[in-house]
Structure 1
Amino acid sequence: MDWMQFVSALVSALAWPAAVVTVVCLLKDPILGLIPKIRSFKYGELHVDLTEELKAVQESLPGKPQEHPGDEKSPLPTPVALQLAAVSPRGAILHSWLEVEATVDLLANGLGYEFSAKASTVVKMRVLHDERVIDPLIYTTFLKLSKVRNDAVHLTDREMEYQDAAMMWGSCSWLIERLNAALPPNSAEA
């Protein structure tokens, strides 16, 4: 093999990899622009689809959670979470979740349960479930919504939409109503 054959073999071996690298470099910006718009992600066993998770939570609830505030008969002011959803759906999801956490704390305190300052809301709900203060549907709904909240916080490259925030608000509102119903009558503060 002389040097011309060597160069020819080298060029033919590197042609396709070089073409692929060139195409990737040229299309890098459009591809990166599409990544935040991805609503679903699957890699091996990991599959994340926030809209589907929220729809699954809503379908598992008896009675339909509110998706939009008020009704035609008596319009109510738009909840803060839905006002926030118009500007920042991710922020609205987190706001709805914080209302759930506050209600869990109110319920646990109203029933006289004492937790360390480091106890998570999940631990508190597990105790309330184990003590039969809340039923399994409330507990499983809480766990599913907790996962949605975690995905919203940690998967920041996924775009959230108003619809996602509205579904989260509706499901969290349903959960808050059930948790408030478990409160003893003399401990209802808000």
Structure 2
Amino acid sequence: MDTLEFIAAMTAALAWPLVVLVAVAMLRPQLRGLRLGRAKRAKVTATGVDLEFFDEQVGVASSALGPLPPANQGEGTSPVAEAVVDDLIKTSPGSAIVGEFARMETEVRELARMWGMKDAASATFSNVNDWLHRQAVLGTNTYEAITSLMQAREEALQDLSGVDRARARRYVKLAREVQSRTKIAAAQAPNTPSR
């Protein structure tokens, strides 16, 4: 193989990767708008590419929860606490998701303990969620909402600065809905200590 044949062979072999690189470079702004890094699932079909994002799951879980049953008077988030979370959403949306998740996780673990889960404090949060679902303490919609929140928390932890405010507000709202349902289920718990 002489030099000219080698150059011809290399050109043929590198032509399509070079075309792909040029196309990606030219379409870079449009590709950023696709949010490929936040995709949960991608499926290539004959007609195109189907992407499923975490945001879509949270929207479905939030709408599936439906209206909350009336909570006891005097319960809920105080205006001061809401203002603190709103300020945190403005400065660090990812931190707001992580913080609200921590509050929700504490309440869900306590609920599992009240309903008789012996290792609620040391089990993984996914196992606690699964146990509550199997015991029919929290409904399927709440189970799916918690699962979506776990994914949102993991995503936020990977890139705290990459979460926008609108997404953080949706996740915080969903976490508060789960907390409200948790409080209602806790009031019905068979192992509720008398006060």
Which TM-score band applies after superposition, normalised by the shorter structure? 0.5 to 0.7
Task: Output the amino acid matched with 1:61.
Answer: L
Identity %: 17
* Aligned residues of 1:54 and 1:168 also touching (Cα < 8 A): yes
Structure 1 residue 171: deviation in Å? 0.5
Question: How far apart, in 2, do the equivalents of 1:82 and 1:169 lie?
Answer: 10
How far apart, CA to CA, are the structure 2 residues paired with 1:80 and 1:137? 28
> Relative contact order, CA 8 A, sep 6+: which one is greater?
1
- Please name the residue that 1:171 is paired with: 174
Structure 2 residue identity aligned to 1:38 = R
* Correspondent of 1:11 among 7, 11, 17: 7
Inter-partner Cα distance in structure 1 for 2:116 and 2:16: 68
**Which one of the candidate residues 156, 160, 164 is aligned to 1:161?**
164
Code of the aligned partner of 2:177: W
Which residue of structure 1 lines up, in the alignment, with residue 73 of structure 2? none
Alignment check: 8 A CA contact 1:82 1:165 kept: no
Secondary structure of the 2:79 match is coil
Amino acid of the structure 2 residue aligned with 1:94: V
2:176 corresponds to which letter in structure 1?
Answer: S
Q: Which amino acid aligns with 1:136?
A: T
Offset, 1:117 = 4.6
In structure 1, list runs of 5 or more residues that go unmatched: 65-74
Give the number of equivalent residue pairs: 171
Q: CA deviation at 1:24?
A: 5.1
C-alpha spacing 1:128/1:160, structure 2 compared with 1 (3 Å): same
Distance 1:178 1:187, change over 3 A: farther
Amino acid at match of 2:139: D
- Residue 54 of structure 2 is matched in structure 1 by 50
Q: Where does 1:68-83 land on structure 2 (aligned, <5 Å)?
A: 76-77=79-80, 78-83=82-87
Structure 1 residues 157 and 116: CA distance shift in structure 2, 3 A: closer
Identify the match of residue 95 of structure 1 among 96, 99, 108: 99
RMSD: 4.1
